[in-house]
Structure 1
Amino acid sequence: MKPLYSEERIHHRVEELAREISRDFLSKDLVVIGILNGGFIFTADLCRSIAIPHEVDFMAASSYGDGTTSGEFKITKELKKSVQNKSVLLVEDIVDTGKTLEYLLTEVQKQNPKDLKVAALFWKQQKANPHILVDYPGFIIEDDFLVGYGLDYKGKFRNLPYVAKLEGTD
């Protein structure tokens, strides 16, 4: 594995994002929603760094069929409370094609939040659906397969404190 993002670099970027989020959501009723499984570490670190009061919840979705093409999605972990009239920040580990995020945005939007924004540690902007916007991108990246800091390969490597490029994942 080739390390690409050190623990220090990630920490610094998370702090920067938290400052932006704290400023933008000042005086708003903020709910941070971490997307499981990969987003749990980024969500935890981001929430600890956000300087304004906020609630935290988690949700998860999975694809069935071929999730990379025309597969369907389903919610596998629901939110505990409604986000109606709340300011919502969805927190993703990585936005690849954006299909899962698009599905989750649609599902959350059904609850009529006051506003709905997205933070993602990594955004494959060139590969992702151009209609999907990441409001708070950590790093805009190429189409590399990354592991660490919540990102996994076959359930492994989420625990790494840094992010590395995994070679030969065919």
Structure 2
Amino acid sequence: MPQATISLHNKEFAPYLTEAELLAAVRRVATELSRDYAGQTPLLIAVLNGSFMFASDLLKELTIDCEISFIRVASYAGTSSTGAVKEILGLQDSVEGRHVVILEDIVDTGHTMKMLLEQIGAQRPASLEVASFLMKPECLQHPLTIKYQGIVIPNKFVVGYGLDYDGLGRNYRDLYQAV
């Protein structure tokens, strides 16, 4: 059971989705990926920091061989997207000729994902898809196809399960919504 309303910095957050609901979505995405990449060894690229819990739980549920790599980008200040995407830790692995799946915690404006798809796509992977744990379609500012979607949520700021508010809240097992 999620704890009652939590306070992070100057904001209050109420329980939104439970750990059980989150893990059910992870299992569904893992089933889809395992089916679509059967007989292949995709390279999963987890976008840090937010996707670390999603990536960890997803890998435990996959029934296929895969490799994982990590990149780090930043586009948020407080509770809003800055509109500018800053690469902090770049991709070290070659993706040419590989089946690649980008693992993202949340796609809202789409700025980060647009930039990542362009950069990784330019390296000529055999295929390139996105698995986003959370989707905010109301916020999308770029035409993106997100093939693997965990949970579609409304345009509310959320924390927990890897997502933060100015560095706090990533450690909660449940998802909390700003009130």
**TM value normalised by structure 1:** 0.91
Q: Structure 1 residues 142-151 or 102-111, which shifts more? A: 102-111
For 1:139 and 1:19, the matched residues in 2 are separated by: 15
In the alignment, does 2:73 pair up with 1:61?
yes
Partner in structure 2 of residue 24 of structure 1: 36
In the alignment, does 2:119 pair up with 1:107?
yes
State the percentage of identical aligned residues. Answer: 35
Partner in structure 2 of residue 143 of structure 1: 155
- 2:105 is paired with a residue of what secondary structure? strand
Counting matched residue pairs gives: 165
- Over 3 Å counting, the alpha-carbon distance change for 1:63 and 1:6 in structure 2 is closer
Q: Which amino acid aligns with 1:31?
A: L
Q: Give how far 1:80 is off.
A: 2.3
- Over 3 Å counting, the alpha-carbon distance change for 1:144 and 1:109 in structure 2 is same
Q: Give how far 1:75 is off.
A: 2.2
Question: Residues 6-17 of structure 1 correspond to what in structure 2 (within 5 A)?
Answer: 6-17=18-29
For 1:67 and 1:159, the matched residues in 2 are separated by: 21
- 2:176 is paired with a residue of what secondary structure? strand
Q: Give how far 1:121 is off.
A: 1.0
Aligned with residue 96 of structure 2, among 44, 60, 84: 84
For 1:130 and 1:84, the matched residues in 2 are separated by: 25
- Over 3 Å counting, the alpha-carbon distance change for 1:13 and 1:106 in structure 2 is same
Once superposed, what is the RMSD of the aligned Cα atoms?
1.9
Partner in structure 2 of residue 152 of structure 1: 164
Is this contact kept in 1: 2:22–2:174, CA < 8 A? yes
For 1:149 and 1:81, the matched residues in 2 are separated by: 27
Q: Which amino acid aligns with 1:84?
A: E
Q: Which stretches of structure 1, 4 residues or more, deviate above 6 A after TM superposition?
A: none
Is this contact kept in 2: 1:40–1:150, CA < 8 A? yes
Partner in structure 2 of residue 38 of structure 1: 50
For 2:166 and 2:86, the matched residues in 1 are separated by: 20
Q: Which amino acid aligns with 1:32?
A: L
Q: Structure 2 stretches of 5 or more lacking a match?
A: 1-12
**TM value normalised by structure 2:** 0.86
Q: Give how far 1:67 is off.
A: 5.7
Q: Which amino acid aligns with 1:78?
A: G
Q: Give how far 1:152 is off.
A: 0.2
Aligned with residue 134 of structure 2, among 100, 103, 122: 122
